[in-house]
Amino acid sequence: IGSIIGSICIYITNAGILTSMHVACIIFYPTMEVIVSFFRRVFINKKSPFLPDELHLHIMLFKLLQKKIKNNYLLNNLNSLLSLILIFVFLIINSLMIVLKNELNFELLFFILCLFYMIVYLKIYRSYTANISKQ
């Protein structure tokens, strides 16, 4: 899937439909998940980067919200709902970055996006690990 998305992104950039910075913003979330997971597994947990774990942003959100939601219908559809919410949030952020590209430096906006992701991830990671240690 990553190869297909990468190929499409190269085509879109070469065709002049979007700039390389726009493409970087679009593929930002999955790329950050891979990078953060790699560094967390190798340098923090001292494990193989190829072993699965439950410390991805969407999984931690799912586990945290799973304990708080009492509605069975919502609970059964929570994983799909979280995926849609995360896509929607990053779609809004990407749209803002495209709209504001003439107002602000694009590299600065991309840096702010990276910083935003890291703050959200660390906050959820701390909540998740605190909940695990209570059990």
Residues in contact with 113: Cβ distance below 8 Å, sequence separation at least 6, in sequence order: 25, 28, 93, 97
Instruction: Specify burial of residue 109 (Cβ count, 10 A radius: 0-12, 13-18, 19+).
Output: buried
Q: Count the Cβ atoms, other than its own, within 10 Å of residue 133.
A: 7
* Mean pLDDT to the nearest integer, 20-27: 79
Model confidence at 109, in pLDDT bands (50, 70, 90)? confident
Encoded tokens for 130: 């605190």
Quote the CA–CA distance of 31 and 92 in Å, as a whole number.
18
Amino acid of residue 126: R
Summarised one tens digit per residue, pLDDT across range 35-92 is 889 998 999 889 998 988 888 888 888 888 887 877 777 777 777 788 778 778 877 8
* Contact of 25 with 113, CB cutoff 8 Å: yes
* Contact of 28 with 106, CB cutoff 8 Å: no
